[in-house]
Amino acid sequence: MSQPLFHRVALIGIGLIGSSLARVLRRDSPATEIVACARRAETLAAVERLALADVTTHDPAEAAEGADLVVIATPLSAYAEIGRHIAPALKQGAILTDVGSVKEVVVRDLGPHVPEGVHFVPGHPVAGTEHSGPEAGFAELFRDRWCILIPLPETAPEAVANIGRMWEMAGMRVVTMTAAHHDRVLAMTSHLPHLIAYTIVGTATNLEESLKSEVIAFSASGFRDFTRIAASDPVMWRDIFLNNREAVLDVLQRFSEDLTALQRAIRWGEGDTLQELFTRTRAIRRSIIEAKQA
């Protein structure tokens, strides 16, 4: 049997993404020892029931000890403390990565804790569903999706390549970019859409009671798609908005201006403006279908 890519992998945080990665490792790299770390007892109980790890622990430092790969997969607000805890336990030559949806803040909060001789490669497998927790994971979650890696000036290329190989094993296409660029792209493709979905579902819940039940009955006419997105994990998303503030506020401002322009077109009956935009947006959908992301 060939050497496994990593002998011992510590998954710190084992929700949708962490548990899906555990399933990939179980399937494609059975010789890899998996250590799962979570704060809540129910989470670790589920991990044990699903046999997703060889060892479970509540202590991030214990999990990181002796691991040649440490993956942080918790909400962003936990990163700094985890970094402080695991730093002394990280072994020389180990790779430290994460799966968070914002990257500049990871470089800022986690970077300073990384000891000399440990390779730090922030990452973002761009995949997910509206479900959370270890039961919600599945190995095929990553298939044909993109994984963005953020090599830092001091990162060894070999470490980036190793992490890349793991995500390719999961079926992902791997690309590298700077943290700042990542945060701008994701603000548009992911953070703004989620913010808007949360808002519109909130607007609907504030309607008078007589309308609210009908909003649910007639949701299939468009609203339903937003509710799926707006069912995503609340803590994870709170952290994303707090930690990608500038980029989110920038695209949000652009969106608000565009929405106001449409509002004005509706008020003044400017049908050509509406039709022109609606025709243009169809083309974007076609590009996405051609890029096989639909």
Q: What is the Cα–Cα distance from 262 to 243, expressed in whole angstroms?
A: 30
The label of the residue with tokens 């709170």 reads: 238
Burial class from Cβ neighbours inside 10 Å (0-12, 13-18, 19+) for residue 69 reads buried
For a copy of itself, the closer CB: 2 or 278: 278
Span interacting with a copy of itself, options 1-9, 56-64, 163-171, 179-187, rule CB under 8 A: 179-187
Using rule CB under 8 A, residue 209 touches a copy of itself: no
Using rule CB under 8 A, residue 241 touches a copy of itself: yes
Within 13 A of 175's CA, how many CA atoms are on the CB side?
Answer: 11
CA angle 195, 199, 202 (to 5 degrees): 140
Q: What is the Cα–Cα distance from 99 to 187, expressed in whole angstroms?
A: 16
**At closest approach, how far in Å is the CB of 287 from a copy of itself?**
5
For a copy of itself, the closer CB: 75 or 134: 75
Using rule CB under 8 A, residue 222 touches a copy of itself: yes
Span interacting with a copy of itself, options 21-29, 85-93, 106-114, 232-240, rule CB under 8 A: 232-240
**At closest approach, how far in Å is the CB of 84 from a copy of itself?**
21
**257 to 286, contacts with a copy of itself by CB under 8 A?**
258-260, 262-263, 266-267, 269, 271, 274-275, 277-282, 284-286
Using rule CB under 8 A, residue 186 touches a copy of itself: yes
Using rule CB under 8 A, residue 237 touches a copy of itself: yes
Q: Give Cα 150 to chain centroid, integer Å.
A: 14
Which residues sit opposite 36 in a β-bridge? 11, 56
| 190: its two tokens | 């992911």
**144 to 163, contacts with a copy of itself by CB under 8 A?**
145-146, 148
Bridge-based pairing of strands 146-149 and 123-125 is antiparallel
Among 11, 38, 82, 126, binds a copy of itself (CB under 8 A): 126
For a copy of itself, the closer CB: 118 or 195: 195
**At closest approach, how far in Å is the CB of 38 from a copy of itself?**
20
Using rule CB under 8 A, residue 255 touches a copy of itself: yes
**76 to 105, contacts with a copy of itself by CB under 8 A?**
101
Kindly compute the dihedral angle of the four CA atoms of residues 120, 122, 125, 131, in this order, to the nearest 10 degrees: 110
Using rule CB under 8 A, residue 238 touches a copy of itself: yes
Please name which of 191, 256, 239 lies closest in space to residue 72, comparing C-alpha atoms. 239
Among 78, 80, 107, 215, binds a copy of itself (CB under 8 A): 215
With beta carbons less than 8 A apart as the criterion, state whether 134 and 14 touch.
yes
Among 80, 107, 136, 185, binds a copy of itself (CB under 8 A): 185
**At closest approach, how far in Å is the CB of 23 from a copy of itself?**
19
Using rule CB under 8 A, residue 140 touches a copy of itself: no
Q: What is the Cα–Cα distance from 146 to 168, expressed in whole angstroms?
A: 9
Using rule CB under 8 A, residue 40 touches a copy of itself: no
**58 to 77, contacts with a copy of itself by CB under 8 A?**
none
With beta carbons less than 8 A apart as the criterion, state whether 156 and 96 touch.
no
Q: Mark residue 143 as left, alpha or beta (left: phi above 0; alpha: psi -120 to 50; beta: remaining).
A: beta
Coil vs helix vs strand at 59: coil
